[in-house]
Amino acid sequence: MLLFRRPSRRSLVFVVEPRFAESGTSVMRGQQLSEIAQSSGLSSRTISCAPVDPSIRRSDIFLTKGVMKTGDLDLWKRWRRQGNRLFLDPVDEGINDALIDAVDVVVAASMSAYDAYRTEFPRADIRLLNHHVDPRVAEALQRHSDKPLQTGIGYFGEPVNTVRTDRIADHVTFVPVSTARQDTGWLESIAAFDMHYAIRRPRALDHHKPFLKGFTAAACGANILIQRGQPEAARWLPPEYPFWVETDPDEAAILRAIEQAEASRGGPEWRAGLDAMRSIASRTSPAAIGSELEALFS
């Protein structure tokens, strides 16, 4: 006789800290994930994105990074006493044993984070939920669908996170994107480039960065220029991807890579790169992320 487990009907609440409501992680890992969940197999559950509310009961609570930063462990304990399950989403922030012990599940936003958490916290329940592409990218692409894809290289992100010189800027258009507040102007440029620049300047505060720039480029049907040594990028791009740059590249190395990429545009190397990017786009589509959400909250 087969026994079928009844699907969970617990409400699902993506909780954001009001002080950080406009931050990129609150919007993307709060509001947008809740909307993806509503279009997934979780749609039979009551799903919301809401500010911190001590009265939540008998729900699955997804703690976004802003909520984690408050570190209100007394509130988290109260939530658990009220029959809630807590899912902590550090994204790229550091975490410690006190936070781990205060929740039921730790969510890894990248494969490298998943492996690291499992090693560092062997008794914790670690689950993978890869980062998703901002749905507004697809909306912007649709708005500009009547325009041909231009040939150019664009950088989308915080200026402090990348390598820029005057000579590099002769080849790359740098479009600043704030992660601390909502700034959607960059979306109107997203369709204008057939290659995205993702050379990263390492910073001490970096922990496990999702490959979001790669996912975004893939969603745009573009190639990406990135240095080797980025652990998450290496999990998504094959070793033979044609537009790797050497680890810790200087200006000369970056310019050589740009020249090679520009010379290959439309040729076999370019098409091979796009094949790899199409695979990434499929693996990070809204449907794919929806399936990961279903597994997370099973």
Task: Name the residue ranges covered by the structural domains of the chain.
Answer: 11-129, 135-283
Coil vs helix vs strand at 222: coil
Q: What is the mean pLDDT of residues 46-72?
A: 95
- What pLDDT is attached to residue 216? 96
∠ Cα 149 132 120 (to 5°): 135
Q: Which run of H or E residues covers position 281? A: helix 268-283
Alpha-carbon dihedral angle through residues 100, 182, 38, 72, given to the nearest 10 degrees: 30
- What pLDDT is attached to residue 3? 39
Best CA proximity match to 36, nearest among 294, 298, 220, 236: 294
* Residue 296 pLDDT > 90: yes
CATH entry, 11-129, from 3.30.200, 3.40.50, 3.30.300, 1.10.530: 3.40.50
67 CB-contact burial (10 Å; exposed 0-12 / middle 13-18 / buried 19+): buried
Backbone angles phi, psi at 167, to 5 degrees: -70, -40
On the question of a common fold for 11-129 and 135-283, the answer reads yes
- What pLDDT is attached to residue 8? 55
pLDDT band at residue 151 using 50, 70 and 90 as cut-offs: confident
CATH entry, 135-283, from 1.10.287.110, 3.40.50.2000, 2.60.40.1120, 3.40.50.300: 3.40.50.2000
∠ Cα 292 295 298 (to 5°): 150
The dihedral sign for the CA sequence 30, 34, 36, 42: positive
- 229-245, pLDDT tens digit by residue? 899 999 999 999 999 99
Give the single-character DSSP code of 35. H
pLDDT band at residue 9 using 50, 70 and 90 as cut-offs: confident
Answer yes or no: are the C-beta atoms of 92 and 208 closer than 8 Å. Answer: yes
Answer yes or no: are the C-beta atoms of 132 and 293 closer than 8 Å. Answer: no
* Residue 5 pLDDT > 70: no
- What pLDDT is attached to residue 180? 67
Q: What would you report as the CA-atom Rg of the chain, rounded to the nearest whole angstrom?
A: 20
pLDDT band at residue 248 using 50, 70 and 90 as cut-offs: confident
The residue to which tokens 């700034």 are assigned:
183
Q: What is the mean pLDDT of residues 262-269?
A: 96
Kindly report the number of other CB atoms within 10 A of residue 271's CB atom. Answer: 12
- What pLDDT is attached to residue 185? 79
Q: pTM for the full model?
A: 0.91
- On average, the pLDDT of the chain sits at 92
Best CA proximity match to 219, nearest among 266, 277, 166: 277
Residues 6+ away with beta carbon under 8 Å from 141: 190, 191, 219, 220
- What pLDDT is attached to residue 205? 63
- What pLDDT is attached to residue 148? 66
